[in-house]
Amino acid sequence: MNKIKNITKMQLFLPIFSMILVMCINVIYDIANGNAALNFFYITIKNGVLFGRLIDVLNRGSEVAILAIGMTLVVSSSAGTDISVGSVMSLYGGMCCMVLAGYGVTNVSEYKQPLIVGILAGLLLACVCGLFNGFLIAYMNIQPMVATLILWSAGRAIGLLLCNSNIVYVRVESFQKIGGYVGFLPTPILVAAICVAVASIVLRFTALGTYIQSVGINKKASRISGFNSAVIILLTYVICGLFAGLAGMVATSRIYSADTNNIGLNMEMDAILAVALGGNSLGGGKFNLAGSIIGAYTIQAITTTLYALGVSSAQAPVFKAIVVIMIVVIQSAPFKDFLKKFTAKKSTKEVAA
Amino acid sequence: MSFPGVKALEDVDFTLKKGEIRALMGENGAGKSTLIKCLTGVNKFQAGEIYLDGIEGPIVNKDTMDAQHKGISTVYQEVNLCPNLSVAENLFIGREPMTKIGTVNRKEMNRRAAELMSNLELDVDVTKNLEEYSLALQQMIAIARAVDMDSKVLILDEPTSSLDDHEVEKLFNMMRNLKSQGVGIIFVTHFLEQVYAVCDGITVLRNGMLVGEYEIEDLPRVKLVAAMMGKDFDDLSAIKKEGDDQVSDELFIEAKGCSHAGTIKPFDLDIHKGEVIGLTGLLGSGRSELARVIYGADKNQTGTLKVDGKEAHINQPLDAMKLGMGLLPDDRKAEGIIGDLSVRENIILALQAKAGPLNKIPYKKQCEIADQFIELLQIKTASRETLIKQLSGGNQQKVILARWLATNPDFLVLDEPTRGIDIGTKTEIQKLVVKLAEEGKSIIFISSEIEEMLRTCNRMAVLRDGQKVGEISGNEMTQEGIMKAIAGGGSDE
């Protein structure tokens, strides 16, 4: 009994529990359909690359996972969300492809500039977007939702300007590599893994985590104790911008074009949801990066599961919503209290018996 | 009204008569707040019953709202109102006067609020936001709100800790007035004088247990202190300063014409190494603000500041910290604690800020430092990983103090370090201040209690209306001398 209690007390218990819940739905479905029970986890190599539903979840979930890193930090430091990340992703695409193809050109099969220049230009622009958001929030005291609303609506339009209102195609093999495969492994999985690893290492070996949480919990007290709250908030938004750029890099490469109207569309909402599913309070303060990452893949797992179940993409959001409601309720404080009372009653009964 | 056997505490009986002011005394963690929370429905209690006059059978308060309806109102130690709402809105929150069509009748609300304020002789514009008023006034408004709700029982949890003497007297008048109307008042405080000034009876708790219920005549001060501490009281006068031997001739701080618009007019102030200088004055006189300018919490806009002989440009607290300064703010909740972080993280916070984000203090070292100060200051906490917000007020204060001591500062500003702290801890902190000075550190000590400042300070600066008006030292440092200087008219320059 005590062991169970200790496990349920762990911070990551609920996010992981949610993930397992989604996987169980898969297993049940497979059994019901007469497939192998663990079909979901079954990984094969087809055409020289990894193939399977789990791989699909990891692959398709990369962008949201990358976004969730930055989102977790801004939620923690400023108790606000950055809703411009989807637009910043598309801005990366616009910038990168424009640099690689040249302004006004819509279809190239050869780089005008080396690939790395395009990527760096795109990432730089993404950081500038983060800087802009961060400046408004940290120094102008504008509410995060409002401040990031600006780029949320303007970002895609700026992207269109960069691309002269066209979809710019970069039909070069190396460009597609980031959205494709290295060896047998889908590159997006690798990119996401590197991003998560770098973020974890930085948070583990620097005091940045303490800085961000401290500012997020009590800005005034943090200032008195020697933290420059404004700089820290600004920094988190720049980091968020950078990760939005990296997510944009993956998304752009997948479709080897700067489709500024569609890259990262509505992805900011998934990223915010990932943070919430990870057991993080959107009220700022304490954060748990691992939770957010698990949350991100949970969202993708839900989507993939629904497609596997044969739900059409038009109706998928309805079912997704139902699953999300369940997960959110399970993690809510009143439900936890209820569960506590329930287990407490049970244990007293056991004692009585 | 009585309720025997609250089990979160341990078998505590508490009785309050009609028209009685009863002091609830005890050290930090004695269970005063828990008892109050049980009474008001904030905490659930496992055993025992509460009876209230006029209501049959034991009452159960589901929450504070419920308790209020039954006639039990509380004003907590830290103001629990909404700073961004107007004074009137705060006064009538949850019970706004309505118009016929069901909207809030603002005119009526503001009129009644203004009436209430003038009855209590508070000079407040009720349409202004609460945050525009000082902590003291906010506290008075919180009390006014409770008073206005036809309470049978009024619980005041450390209401006077942020008030100055004049305001305290006003509050006492209010309390006596309510008492004559048959309201029972539970008064939680750490100020002994105030207990004897206004209370009829005293209930003493210690370590979650009842020590006893006394009439005021039966329990003189010394016995009260002994009852609270559970031992013979180590007399406060024992830490009386020995003299100014440790004060060095070297200056640590030399401020010339420093100021911050709107809070403190240009002032000069020298602080020697090893000196404790007290800043005294009424609330809002600029005593905190002066210290904040030196520390850079408010930017110095004029004049020059020399630290340890060199001219210093302090733009933010971190600059000051790098020069060896630290500031313990008076508003612990708003500017002191990082509530959701652990005791350990709170203790190493300033040290980490000084080290910079890239030089993370290794976890092991953090634990060592935390343990060292938990031991040194006898911080009562379940473990070093306990969240600071779960600690009692006095222990939170010790953690903040530890945060600064961990940086080994040369100069510390202690703004109301003993506010809301039990008498034992108070003595410890005062002793610590004297000890730090002996080690050659300079200290600014700000307190509303003149007695406490007399015990610890070598010299005092007097402030009035945002201006430093004089300094007192040597023989002039007596209760009367300081009072005179604060009140003005004296020739203390």
pLDDT tens digits, one per residue of B417-449 = 987 777 788 888 888 999 999 899 999 999 877
Confidence of residue A205 (pLDDT cuts 50, 70, 90): very high
Task: Tell me what pLDDT residue B2 has.
Answer: 44
Residues 58-87 of chain A whose Cβ lies under 8 A from any Cβ of chain B: none
Shared domain for B301 and B353, answered yes or no, is yes
Q: What type of residue is B112? A: R
Task: Tell me what pLDDT residue A350 has.
Answer: 56
Instruction: Show the tokens assigned to B454.
Output: 């007399």
Shared domain for B143 and B281, answered yes or no, is no
Q: Residues of chain B with pLDDT > 90: what percent?
A: 30
Mutate to test the interface with A, among B293, B349, B351, B403 (most CBs of A within 10 A): B349
Mean pLDDT of the region A67-86? 95
Q: Is the pLDDT of residue A188 over 80?
A: yes
* Weakest-pLDDT range from B114-128, B247-261, B342-356, B385-399: B114-128
Mean pLDDT of the region B194-209? 86
B-chain CB neighbours of A205 within 8 Å are 360
Query: A293-351: per-residue pLDDT in tens?
Result: 999 999 999 888 888 888 888 888 888 888 778 877 877 778 878 877 777 766 665 55
Shared domain for B268 and B243, answered yes or no, is yes
The residue out of B185, B201, B231 marking a domain boundary is B231
Shared domain for B277 and B294, answered yes or no, is yes
3-state secondary structure A168-210: EEECCHHHHCCCCEECCEEHHHHHHHHHHHHHHHHHHHCCHHH
Shared domain for B466 and B425, answered yes or no, is yes
Q: Is the pLDDT of residue B148 over 50?
A: yes
Task: Tell me what pLDDT residue A347 has.
Answer: 61
Cβ pair B390, B379 in contact under 8 A: no
* Cross-chain Cβ contact B329/A224 below 8 Å: yes
User: Is residue B5 included in any domain, yes or no?
Assistant: no
> Number of helices and strands (H, E) in chain A?
16, 7
Would residue B331 be called left, alpha or beta, if left means φ above 0 and alpha means ψ between -120 and 50 degrees?
beta
Q: What type of residue is B184? A: G
B-chain CB neighbours of A226 within 8 Å are 317-318, 321, 349-350, 353-354
Query: B99-139: per-residue pLDDT in tens?
Result: 888 888 888 889 988 988 887 777 888 888 888 887 777 87
Residues 310-339 of chain A whose Cβ lies under 8 A from any Cβ of chain B: none
How far is the first Cα of chain B from the last one, in angstroms, to the nearest whole number? 55
Query: What's the burial of A36, exposed, middle or buried (CB within 10 Å: 0-12/13-18/19+)?
Result: exposed
* Cross-chain Cβ contact A207/B329 below 8 Å: no
Shared domain for B99 and B115, answered yes or no, is yes
* Weakest-pLDDT range from A16-25, A247-256, A267-276, B394-403: A16-25
Distance CA A257, CA A247 (A): 14
Shared domain for B115 and B69, answered yes or no, is yes
Q: Is the pLDDT of residue A254 over 90?
A: yes
Q: Which residue has the higher pLDDT, A233 or B59?
A: A233
The residue out of B194, B209, B231 marking a domain boundary is B231
Cβ pair A319, A306 in contact under 8 A: yes
B-chain CB neighbours of A210 within 8 Å are 341, 345, 349, 352, 360
Task: Tell me what pLDDT residue A186 has.
Answer: 94
Q: Is the pLDDT of residue B232 over 60?
A: no
The residue out of B231, B262, B286 marking a domain boundary is B231
How far is the first Cα of chain A from the last one, in angstroms, to the nearest whole number? 15
Expressed as residue numbers, the domain containing B224 is 21-231
Shared domain for B244 and B206, answered yes or no, is no
Instruction: Show the tokens assigned to A174.
Output: 């190396």
Shared domain for B276 and B350, answered yes or no, is yes
Distance CA B326, CA B317 (A): 8
Report the run of H or E that residue B154 belongs to, with start and end.
Answer: strand B153-157
CATH of the domain at B29: 3.40.50.300
Counted domains in chain B: 2
Kindly list the distances between the CA atom of residue B425 and the CA atoms of B319, B391, B409, in Å, as whole numbers in the listed order: 31, 14, 21
Mean of pLDDT over chain A:
89
Q: List the Cα angle A329/A331/A337 in 5-degree steps.
A: 90
* Cross-chain Cβ contact A224/B317 below 8 Å: yes
- Phi, psi for residue A260 in degrees, rounded to 5: -60, -25
Question: What single-letter DSSP state applies at residue B270?
Answer: E
Helices (H), B231-390: 287-295, 317-322, 343-355, 363-376
User: Is residue B426 included in any domain, yes or no?
Assistant: yes
* Cross-chain Cβ contact A220/B360 below 8 Å: no
Kindly list the distances between the CA atom of residue A295 and the CA atoms of A51, A278, B45, B59, B265, in Å, as whole numbers in the listed order: 22, 5, 38, 45, 54
A-chain CB neighbours of B334 within 8 Å are 218, 220-221
User: Is residue B384 included in any domain, yes or no?
Assistant: yes
B325 touches chain A (CB under 8 A): no
Could you give the 3-state DSSP secondary structure of residue A132? helix
A256 touches chain B (CB under 8 A): no
Q: What type of residue is B253? A: I
A225 touches chain B (CB under 8 A): yes
Helices B106-119 + B135-147 axis angle, to 10: 100
Q: Is the pLDDT of residue A271 over 80?
A: yes
User: Is residue B143 included in any domain, yes or no?
Assistant: yes
User: Is residue B6 included in any domain, yes or no?
Assistant: no
User: Is residue B15 included in any domain, yes or no?
Assistant: no
Which domains, from first to last, does chain A contain?
A: 61-310 (1.10.3470)
Shared domain for B411 and B277, answered yes or no, is yes
Nearest to B339 among A211, A218, A225 (CB): A218
pTM of the model: 0.76
Mean pLDDT of the region A114-131? 96
Confidence of residue B413 (pLDDT cuts 50, 70, 90): very high
* Cross-chain Cβ contact B341/A228 below 8 Å: no
B337 touches chain A (CB under 8 A): yes
User: Is residue B222 included in any domain, yes or no?
Assistant: yes
Query: B203-230: per-residue pLDDT in tens?
Result: 988 877 888 888 888 888 777 777 776 6
Shared domain for B204 and B250, answered yes or no, is no
Instruction: Show the tokens assigned to B210.
Output: 């009842």
A221 touches chain B (CB under 8 A): yes
Distance CA B36, CA A245 (A): 53
Shared domain for B200 and B275, answered yes or no, is no
B-chain CB neighbours of A207 within 8 Å are 352, 355-361
